[in-house]
Amino acid sequence: MKILQLIYESLNNPFGTGGGTIRAYEIYKRLKDRHDITLVCMKYPGARDGEIQGLRHVFVGTESKSLTKSVMAYTLKASEYVRRYGSNFDVIVENFIPMTPFFSKFLTKTPSILQVQGITGFHSFKKYNPLYSLPMYIVEKIYPLLYDKFIFVTDTGMDKLKKRSQKNAIIPNGIERELLHVNTEEVDDYILFLSRIDTYTKGLDILMDAFVSVSDIFKELKLILAGYEFNSIAELIKRVPEGLRERVSYAGFVLGEQKIKLLAGAKVFILPSRHEAHPVSILEALACGKAVIASDIPELGYIAENGIGLTFKSGSSQDLADKLSVLLEDKALRKQLGDKGRRYASQFLWDEIALMFERFLIEIHKFN
């Protein structure tokens, strides 16, 4: 089967690499020996067409250093690519981001599937300038109505769009099997945040304030932040009094062994997001046997429902500080939650998720 994936992010993209990109590479590298796969990604300075991790990449757009210009150029050029070459493929998977509406369904007779990671909703207005947020909000509301084939990563995403049919599938994110076997010993006195450094979306302002609240009680505790720097780390750390700043460190964008080492050695993993999809980082932390704390938003409701971590009232740094104190004071509870979380995460292996993804694409192609 010939598969075309429209996804603006790619590995090495200077504008960042998120969970949707990790998902694409993890799935497609497991399918590349059985299918002909092409990723159409946003061009960036120095990007060249060719293979990355054994997957064919086509970069379209402009080599601008401006994200806005790059996204606009990519959207137009990717749509043109679909119009010209879409008929050469058996199925098209379009990653849905409101700022990149490709209208692929209307540019070719090849079946197009809209893959929805998450829905931002009114959070757009709190995060972006109205010049951007209003169009994004409108597109997010209207654009999915144009499609009839979907891949969602959670039930919550499906329910938000009120899209339930046999042409839809819920295919979650996953983990590498090796994470289930790493040593879970706490090697240092630190808590870990591992995700995009996006202050509003990921609730990093809440985390910093909570860390300040517990720092007088847990005087040796450190906070490590890791992930792509979407917002300024320097500005974020300014929320912490000068005397505490040496206890906050930034590990950068981590992959492979470095990421596993950070996860495995942490006391607690925290993701205080204001809105989410199905974060890979939480699954990876659970797989490493870590106790997790997450906000009580619907997308992360499975944390409390399955008893695999603690949740705090979204937006409340004091509630986060209280829950963090509970875990830091109780090693047995951390171990209990970590063991249960590891068993839960074992259900989400990339090998199996890739097969789910493959079966759905074959079904769509077969019955189109």
Which of 215, 164, 221, 155 has the alpha carbon at shortest distance from 188? Answer: 221
Do 309 and 223 belong to one domain? yes
Query: Are 270 and 312 within 8 A, CB to CB?
Result: no
Do 330 and 209 belong to one domain? yes
| CATH code for the domain in which residue 57 is found | 3.40.50.2000
Residue-wise pLDDT for 331-359, tens only, equals 999 999 999 999 999 999 999 999 999 99
Q: How many domains would you assign to the chain? A: 2
Range 134-143 average pLDDT: 89
Do 152 and 31 belong to one domain? yes
Residue-wise pLDDT for 184-194, tens only, equals 889 889 999 99
Structure confidence at residue 162 (pLDDT): 62
Do 166 and 214 belong to one domain? no
Identity of the residue numbered 303: I
CA distances from 86 to 6, 106, 111, 182 (A): 11, 11, 9, 43
Do 12 and 47 belong to one domain? yes
Do 125 and 8 belong to one domain? yes
Residue-wise pLDDT for 276-311, tens only, equals 989 999 999 999 999 999 999 999 999 999 999 999
Residue 321 DSSP SS3: helix
Do 124 and 249 belong to one domain? no
Position 19 confidence tier, pLDDT thresholds 50, 70, 90: confident
Do 24 and 52 belong to one domain? yes
Structure confidence at residue 131 (pLDDT): 79
Is pLDDT above 70 for 270? yes
Position 117 confidence tier, pLDDT thresholds 50, 70, 90: confident
Do 82 and 222 belong to one domain? no
Do 278 and 329 belong to one domain? yes
Expressed as residue numbers, the domain containing 200 is 177-345
Do 354 and 227 belong to one domain? no
Average pLDDT, the chain: 93
Do 127 and 203 belong to one domain? no
